C-alpha cells in the first residue's frame, strides 16, 4: 500500500523540523550568554538537511545530516563594570543573531504544520479507502 | 458478461493506484521543502494512466504535449512504466540553495490530488453498488 509511506516521509520531515526548532531554542536561550574564563563564547548552531531514502526513489524523506557551528565572530560589548570584562573593558558574548533565529523558528514551525496537514489528509484518504464498498 | 460489468472497476482501480502514487510524490516534495539541492518531482498522470492501461487510452499523446501542467518538463521515454512518467517540476522562483520546491503549488497539487482520489473512490463505490444491485435483482 503505497499511501502508507506518506507517514514515513512526512514523519521524517516532522522529526527534522523539530530538531531544527530545538537548535533554534538552544541558540535563542544562549543569545546573551557571556564567554567563560577561556574566552570561548557560545557559537550559534545550524542544522543541515539532506534527503533520505524511504524505500522508494520517487519519494524520499528528510534527515538532519549535520549540526554545524556558525563561523561568525563572537560579539564584543564594551561593559567595563562587568565581572567578565577583559583588560580593555570588553565582554565577549555569543555570535547568535536573535532576528535570524526568530525567522528560522517561524520557517521551521510552518514547515512542521505543513507536514502535519499532509499526514492528516493521507489519514483521511486511507480511512475512506478502507471503507470502500460499504 | 461479468467482465463487462467489472471493466469500469478495473479502470478506476488503476486510477486509484496512480493517484496514491502521485499523493506520495507530492508529500515528499512538501517534506523536502527546506532541503538544499532537492529537485521537486511530479507524476505525469496522463502518461502513467496510458501506460497502466497498455496504451489503450485514446488521447493525442504526442511527446511535446504530454505534461499535465505547462510548466512541467517531459522526460524522455526511458522505459514503459514507472519512472518514465516522473517529471521534474520547472522552477518558478529559483533559490540559492538549489531547492526547486514551490510550496504553494505543491500544497495546491496535494489538495487537488486528494479530491480526485476521493472522486475515484466514489466511482468505485457506486460501481460496486450498481453491480451488487444487479446481482441481487431485488
Q: What is the pLDDT of residue B78?
A: 38
Q: How many helices (H) and strands (E) does chain A have?
A: 2, 4
User: Distance between CA B43 and CA B23 in Å, rounded?
Assistant: 9
Beta-carbon separation of B28 and A59 below 8 A: yes
β A61-69/A75-78 pair status: unpaired
* Per-residue model confidence as pLDDT tens digits over B97-126: 989 999 999 999 999 999 999 999 999 999
pLDDT category, B9, cuts 50, 70, 90? confident
Minimum distance, in Å, between the CA of residue A2 and any CA atom of chain B: 7
Residue A2 has pLDDT above 80, yes or no: no
pLDDT category, B68, cuts 50, 70, 90? low
| Chain B residue nearest residue A3, CA to CA | B20
User: Distance between CA A66 and CA B134 in Å, rounded?
Assistant: 61
Three-class SS of residue A118? Answer: helix
The count of structural domains within chain B is 1
Beta-carbon separation of B110 and A118 below 8 A: yes
| Maximum mean pLDDT: which of A44-48, B44-48, B59-63 | A44-48
Beta-carbon separation of B24 and A17 below 8 A: no
Q: What is the pLDDT of residue A25?
A: 96
Summary mean pLDDT of chain A: 91
Three-class SS of residue A42? Answer: coil
A125 burial (CB, 10 Å; 0-12 / 13-18 / 19+) is buried
The stretch B82-88 carries a mean pLDDT of 71
List b or e across B76-95, with b for residues whose CB sees 16 or more CB atoms inside 10 angstroms.
Answer: eeeeeeeebbbbebeeeeee
The stretch B3-21 carries a mean pLDDT of 87
Residue A47 has pLDDT above 80, yes or no: yes
> What residues contact B138, with CB distance under 8 A and at least 6 apart?
none
**Cell numbers for B28:** 515528499
Record the pTM.
0.80
DSSP string, A90-102: EEEE----HHHHH
User: Lowest mean pLDDT: which of A105-119, B31-45, B73-87, B107-121?
Assistant: B73-87
Domain interval for residue B30: 2-136
Interface test with B, best of A6, A17, A109 (most B CBs within 10 A): A6
Beta-carbon separation of A128 and B118 below 8 A: yes
Minimum distance, in Å, between the CA of residue A127 and any CA atom of chain B: 11
User: Distance between CA B63 and CA B84 in Å, rounded?
Assistant: 12
Three-class SS of residue A87? Answer: coil
What's the longest Cα–Cα distance across chain B? Answer: 66
Alpha-carbon radius of gyration of chain B: 18
Whether the Cβ atoms of residue B124 and residue B11 lie closer than 8 Å to each other:
no
Kindly list the domain boundaries of chain A, sorted by start residue: 2-33+43-70+96-130
For the beta carbon of residue B107, count every other beta carbon within 10 angstroms.
17
Q: B9 in contact with A at a CB cutoff of 8 Å?
A: no
Amino acid at each position: 500500500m503505497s499511501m502508507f509511506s506518506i507517514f514515513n516521509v512526512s514523519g521524517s520531515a516532522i522529526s527534522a523540523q523539530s530538531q531544527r526548532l530545538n537548535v533554534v531554542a538552544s541558540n535563542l536561550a544562549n543569545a546573551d550568554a557571556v564567554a567563560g574564563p577561556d574566552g570561548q563564547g557560545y557559537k550559534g548552531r545550524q542544522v543541515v538537511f539532506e534527503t533520505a531514502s524511504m524505500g522508494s526513489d520517487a519519494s524520499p524523506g528528510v534527515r538532519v545530516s549535520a549540526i554545524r557551528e556558525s563561523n561568525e565572530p563572537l560579539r564584543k560589548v564594551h561593559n567595563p563594570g562587568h565581572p567578565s570584562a577583559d583588560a580593555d573593558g570588553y565582554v565577549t558574548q555569543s555570535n547568535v543573531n536573535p532576528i535570524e533565529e526568530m525567522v528560522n523558528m517561524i520557517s521551521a514551525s510552518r514547515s512542521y504544520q505543513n507536514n502535519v496537514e499532509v499526514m492528516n489528509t493521507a489519514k483521511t484518504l486511507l480511512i475512506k479507502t478502507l471503507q470502500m464498498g460499504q | 458478461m461479468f467482465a463487462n460489468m467489472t471493466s469500469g472497476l478495473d479502470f478506476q482501480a488503476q486510477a486509484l493506484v496512480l493517484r496514491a502514487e502521485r499523493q506520495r510524490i507530492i508529500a515528499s516534495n512538501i517534506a523536502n521543502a527546506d532541503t538544499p539541492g532537492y529537485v521537486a518531482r511530479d507524476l505525469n498522470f496522463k502518461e502513467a494512466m496510458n501506460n497502466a492501461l497498455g496504451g489503450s487510452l485514446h488521447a493525442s499523446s504526442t511527446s511535446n504535449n504530454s505534461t499535465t501542467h505547462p510548466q512541467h518538463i517531459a522526460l524522455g521515454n526511458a522505459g514503459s512504466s514507472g519512472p518514465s512518467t516522473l517529471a521534474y517540476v520547472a522552477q518558478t522562483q529559483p533559490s540559492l540553495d538549489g531547492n526547486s520546491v514551490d510550496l504553494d503549488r505543491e500544497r495546491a497539487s496535494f489538495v487537488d490530488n486528494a479530491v480526485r482520489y476521493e472522486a475515484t473512490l466514489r466511482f468505485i463505490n457506486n460501481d460496486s453498488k450498481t453491480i451488487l444491485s444487479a446481482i441481487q435483482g431485488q
